[in-house]
């Protein structure tokens, strides 16, 4: 199972929006509405930010939103704040009880 493809980096100024893409195949992202997004600060465990493409777990700010079109999912962070600076990983269910993660994107708040 190959990793999902994400851009290595993305950036924006405070208050702006940034969108991260996550491209898979018709066997994972394109076939299931089970795309999740994780935020990871240095030296910390990942934190779930989005599940089932666009749902937010309790406690996650509504500045975080997700969507999907075909084989590509996206995470948008609106109203960027300093604490949003982190690595972000997408993941997708890939069938037969398998999962796959993305290559990761480092978001920098300028």
Partner 1 sequence: QVQLVQSGAEVKKPGASVKVSCKASGYTFTSYTIHWVRQAPGQRLEWMGWINAGNGNTKYSRKFQGRVTITRDTSASTAYMELSSLRSEDTAVYFCARQVLAGTPGDYWGQGTLVTVSS
List residues binding partner 1 (CB under 8 A). 1, 3, 32-36, 38, 40, 45-48, 51-52, 57, 89, 91, 93, 96-104
38 or 64: CB nearest partner 1:
38
Q: Could you tell me the smallest distance in angstroms from the CB atom of residue 10 to partner 1?
A: 16
CB of 2 or CB of 17, closer to partner 1: 2
Tally helices (H) and strands (E) across the chain: 0, 9
CA distance 39 to 88: 5
Using an 8 Å Cβ cutoff, are 18 and 12 in contact? yes
Closer to partner 1 by Cβ: residue 37 or 84: 37
With CA atoms as reference, report the closest residue to 69 among 95, 38, 35, 106: 35
């Amino acid at each position: 199972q190959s990793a999902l493809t994400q851009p290595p980096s993305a950036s924006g100024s405070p208050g702006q929006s940034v969108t991260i893409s996550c491209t898979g195949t018709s066997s994972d992202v394109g076939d299931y509405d089970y795309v999740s997004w994780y935020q990871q600060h240095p030296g910390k465990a990942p934190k779930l930010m989005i599940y089932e493409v666009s749902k937010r777990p309790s406690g996650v700010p509504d500045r975080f939103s997700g969507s999907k079109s075909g084989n590509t999912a996206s995470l948008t962070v609106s109203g960027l704040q300093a604490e949003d600076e982190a690595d972000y990983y997408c993941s997708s269910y890939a069938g037969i009880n398998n999962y796959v993660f993305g290559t990761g994107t480092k978001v920098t708040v300028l």
